[in-house]
Structure 1
Amino acid sequence: MGVYASVFHKSSGQILIDSTDPSQANWITAHSDACKMPVPEVQRCWGRFLLLQPDKNGNVHRHRFIKDDIFNRQLVQQIPVTEDGLVTFQTYCSAVYWLSNSSRETKLGGLYQTLACSSLNKDSLERLLQALYPKESQGGVNQLSSLLMWEMDTKNQGFIDEDQFIAWMKKLPQETLTALLHFSVIPHKLTAASAPQIPQRDVSVLKKDSVYL
């Protein structure tokens, strides 16, 4: 996410790392205020963050986020950390807020920064495609990367810049693009499960009542 991720820790201009910690009663509400997130969403984030075994100050070493996946590694490298290589819970919440609330244009820019890192040329595109399609032959990957370069690099620069990437992504079917970029802090199935249930009237009573309509 590059330049996009650099604003994560600046949420509302407040830095919470020195003013509260998980033992304080205001841990959740302070992050809710700073990151402009509803309390239930911050609670959801904290529950997920705890799985990474944060220290007593509520921070996690960045390496705990890394998995054996090229996309994961490139994404994690974009997350701002402290001088000690720690990801604060505030940064985590801000990143989640960004994923959930950013505009389509901003998300596409962040996706480009994650995929490209330094440059998105044919070689780097081939590496990404090989990771995405591990069963595809080298010839197939080479052919696909050449096709994508031809479609996206309309300026014949030898690489795909951010504007070209975003313009190409916007040509995808709207439902596909929406599904790709959609992110809910609290999954819909959990939200639906917690919604109050409306009691159902007995069908026989309904039929009886209908006589008087």
Structure 2
Amino acid sequence: MSETKEHIIDKSYELFLSHSYEAVSISDISKAIGMTKGALYHHFLNKEELFKAVVDKHLILPTVACNLDQVSLKELFDYNIRCIRELLDSYLSYSNLFTPLNFVSLFGDASRHYKGFIEKTERYVKDEEKKIVTVLENAIKRGEIRSDINVAITAYTIISLYVGLVGNLIVNSQDVDKSFSLLRSQILEFYKMLKKST
């Protein structure tokens, strides 16, 4: 991708992050990047195509990327919490316009204005669920956790706990440290319930 195109995407990201999709016009984008509308249209056909490029580059969802056959459930929890924290920290350091609520709004805008985004997100959730199911099944075989759980529901519950970080951020006035502390406590409490009693 050309440097100019990257610059357009990054500046547009800041606009879409601080305002809604509907509120940002092509005129706003061309002013922000110091380019005529004609020059902007040379790189992107329309606002929708530009928005899709912004979402594809900046709306990154964390993914399990460890050895699923060897990792324990506890290690997976620790790994995921660390990855989510690093991702959120990278968002916060990227732009001073970033707030967790702005990110949620951008996600909502993507759901409404990016054709196929909801299906893409559903595939992402299903893929992550499958990975967690693998880890849970191995954790049962190893005796790390109880065997009387519904593995599919437990995997979905784990994903729901991670998604609950958004709620933590809202309740805790977007305090990232406090919200992560709460997420870690929730995950550890859930893990204790899954642990095989000795």
Range class of TM-score, shorter chain: under 0.3
